[in-house]
Amino acid sequence: MPQIYGKCPFPDCGRRVIPNRSPHGFCVEHEKFVNDLLFILPHIKPGEVRKAGILLPGDKDFQVLKPGVVKG
């Protein structure tokens, strides 16, 4: 009898969660998104508020910080 796994909590996803391959509780496809997000979030730093929106690459004030470098 096959074991039935829970559904992925991502909205409108019909895939199943595989416990040994899903440390964050998502299906394999959405685990990739979560891993990317968890990698990117520590590199997003707040800057001066100069206009509504987010500071994006290409803006004159955008800076890329090296991993492990604390600026302050």
User: Looking at residue 46, what is its pLDDT?
Assistant: 72
Q: State residue 34 phi and psi, 5-degree precision.
A: -65, -40
Find the radius of gyration of the CA atoms of the chain. Answer: 18
Task: Give 26's pLDDT tier (boundaries 50, 70, 90).
Answer: confident
pLDDT tens figures, 36-52: 888 888 887 776 656 65
Summarised one tens digit per residue, pLDDT across range 53-64 is 676 777 776 776
Whether residue 69 is predicted with pLDDT greater than 70 in this model: the reply is no
Q: What's the whole-model pTM score? A: 0.50
Nearest to 22 by CA among 12, 11, 9, 39: 9
Half-sphere exposure (Cβ direction) of 9: Cα atoms closer than 13 Å: 6
Higher pLDDT, 13 or 52: 13
